[in-house]
Amino acid sequence: MSNEILWDIGRGTGVVASVLLTVTVMLGIYGRSARTFLGIPRFAMISIHRTASLFSVVFTLVHVLTVTLDQYTNLTFINAFIPFISSNEPLWYGLGAIALDLLLAISVTGMLRSYIGEKTFHAVHWLAYASWPIAIIHGLGAGTDSSSAWYLLLTAACLLAVGAMAAWRVLPRFSDYSYARTKERVL
């Protein structure tokens, strides 16, 4: 496979992974609420969240694989996991490595949820609030499309979407699902 094809796949999967991560974070926040969306039950929203999460991991791993196979980037597979050791753009690729490590930790604990307990799962899952913006910053710094209008608009839309959901999450009117479940048991 030529470097040009690897580069295009790496760029495309990086952008798609960013959008999927945005959707995953938004659905994760929404799934924590005690509300339905457009009549979609909460369990279905959680299923969509998990599916989006799985696809974001797949696209991220393809992104990592293609950019490490591309000789132009001068990245090794180790650079993808250990931050700030790359000889090429160490800050931006280092942030990508941190985002990847956090994403993998979140994913693994998601798969092991029934074995590790709710408290551990939720503690690690809070890392999504760090992983997502780090991934976005990585894309803005390392992405070759980061100066193009379409990429900046897409990134702005992702920032606004997650920002709005995060703001809603901290509002007093947010109905946390765990509170709703407890309230149902008491009544």
**pLDDT (tens digit, 0 to 9) for every residue of the chain, 187 residues total?**
788 999 999 999 999 999 999 999 999 888 887 677 778 887 888 899 999 999 999 999 999 999 999 988 889 999 999 999 999 999 999 999 999 999 999 999 999 999 999 999 999 999 999 999 999 999 999 999 999 999 999 999 999 999 999 998 888 777 666 554 444 444 4
Per-residue tokens: 170:
């901290």
Confidence (pLDDT) at 141: 98
Euclidean distance between CA atoms 169 and 39, whole angstroms: 20
- Sequence-ordered alpha helix ranges (H) in the chain: 3-32, 42-69, 77-81, 90-111, 113-116, 118-125, 128-142, 149-170, 177-186
Q: Copy the structure tokens of residue 142.
A: 């390392």
The CATH classification of domain 3-186, taken from the options 1.10.10, 1.20.144, 3.40.50, 1.20.120: 1.20.120
Q: Rounded to whole angstroms, what are the CA distances from 138 to 51, 80, 126?
A: 23, 12, 19
Q: What pLDDT sits at residue 177?
A: 61
End-to-end CA distance of the chain: 62
* Closest to 135 (Cα-Cα) out of 34, 7, 18, 1: 18
| pLDDT value, residue 37 | 74
pTM: 0.88
Burial class of 174 by CB neighbour count within 10 A (0 to 12, 13 to 18, 19+): middle
Residue 182: the pLDDT is 46
Q: Supply the pLDDT for residue 38.
A: 79
pLDDT of res. 187:
47
Which of 148, 147, 151, 142 has its CA nearest to residue 70? 142
Where do the domains of the chain lie? 3-186
- Look at residue 68 in the predicted model and tell me its pLDDT: 95
Q: How many residues does the chain have?
A: 187
**Cα 101 from Cα 32, distance rounded (Å):** 24
Check: CB of residue 13 under 8 Å from CB of residue 139.
Answer: no
